């Protein structure tokens, strides 16, 4: 049975890494002592070691140990034996490319579907969808394809931003970009605002946090769902 948290971000403005969701994670990881961290997304190009140390500091607040997958000789075995898995933010293209390079896509999907708790933030959330075509990241590397883990039956847009009517910026909004996606693709897209997350338990997918989420379905007008809403019928 799937047990997943898909969070828009790892850090809210003015708070420390994962602080806004630590109480939720304390419950989510209550039966876990060690978390396998996959640092492949490398925000700002930081090293795997530095990124893992940042995560260790955060998880120490809920008395969990963290070990980076890059320290294992065989990353596939590391995933197979993990008590729990966390993939953080950074560049989604870099992340997906490394997962393919290390032959982790299939085993990661199988392991999570079989019940190993999985936490994703930002890029680590993008890969929970059907593809990464709705990420906000620049394609600085080219993965073998854009297909992701498909742990939920839709795509994600973490860090979703509403149009700012006071801004002089004339570029495309997130909503415009997602409409462009739907000109060529039909899967729904969930726009997750900062501080929001999806809690997946088995076939249940519930929006959590204080904010609503924006839902984009093919050939439909975008609409809002409130925190606590169930998304398991969104396909």
193, 158 contact by CB (below 8 A): no
Q: How many CB atoms lie within 10 A of CB 104?
A: 20
Whole-Å CA distances, 19 to 14, 114, 144 = 10, 28, 35
Distance CA(58)–CA(182), nearest Å, equals 37
Asked about 196 being catalytic, the answer comes back as no
Distance CA(96)–CA(121), nearest Å, equals 14
Set 3, 70, 159, 182: catalytic member:
159
Set 137, 199, 212, 227: catalytic member:
137
- Contacts made by residues 225-229, CB under 8 angstroms, sequence distance 24+: 227/196
Asked about 15 being catalytic, the answer comes back as no
Read out DSSP for 2-40? -EEEEES-S--TTS-TTGGGHHHHHHHTTT-SEEEEE-T
Distance CA(36)–CA(77), nearest Å, equals 11
Whole-Å CA distances, 93 to 33, 100, 140, 141 = 30, 11, 7, 6
Asked about 137 being catalytic, the answer comes back as yes
Set 3, 8, 70, 122: catalytic member:
122
> Catalytic residue positions?
122, 137, 159
């Amino acid at each position: 049975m799937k047990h997943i948290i898909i969070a828009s971000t790892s850090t809210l403005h003015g708070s420390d890494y994962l602080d806004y969701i630590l109480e939720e994670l304390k419950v989510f990881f209550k039966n876990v002592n060690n978390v396998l961290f996959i640092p492949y997304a490398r925000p700002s190009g930081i090293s795997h070691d530095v990124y893992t140390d940042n995560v260790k500091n955060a998880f120490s607040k809920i008395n969990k140990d963290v070990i980076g997958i890059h320290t294992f000789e065989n990353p596939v075995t590391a995933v197979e034996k993990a008590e729990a898995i966390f993939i953080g933010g950074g560049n989604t293209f870099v992340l997906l490319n490394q997962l393919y390079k290390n032959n982790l896509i299939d085993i990661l999907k199988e392991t999570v579907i079989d019940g190993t708790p999985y936490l994703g933030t930002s890029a680590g959330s993008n890969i929970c969808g059907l593809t990464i075509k709705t990420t906000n990241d620049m394609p600085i590397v080219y993965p073998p394809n854009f297909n992701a883990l498909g742990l939920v039956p839709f795509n994600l847009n973490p860090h979703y931003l509403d149009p700012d009517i006071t801004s002089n910026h004339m570029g495309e909004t997130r909503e415009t970009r997602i409409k462009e996606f739907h000109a060529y693709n039909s899967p729904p897209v969930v726009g997750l605002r900062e501080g929001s997350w999806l809690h997946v338990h088995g076939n249940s997918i519930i929006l959590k946090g204080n904010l609503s989420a924006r839902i984009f379905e093919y050939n439909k007008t975008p609409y809002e769902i409130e925190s606590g809403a169930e998304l398991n019928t969104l396909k």
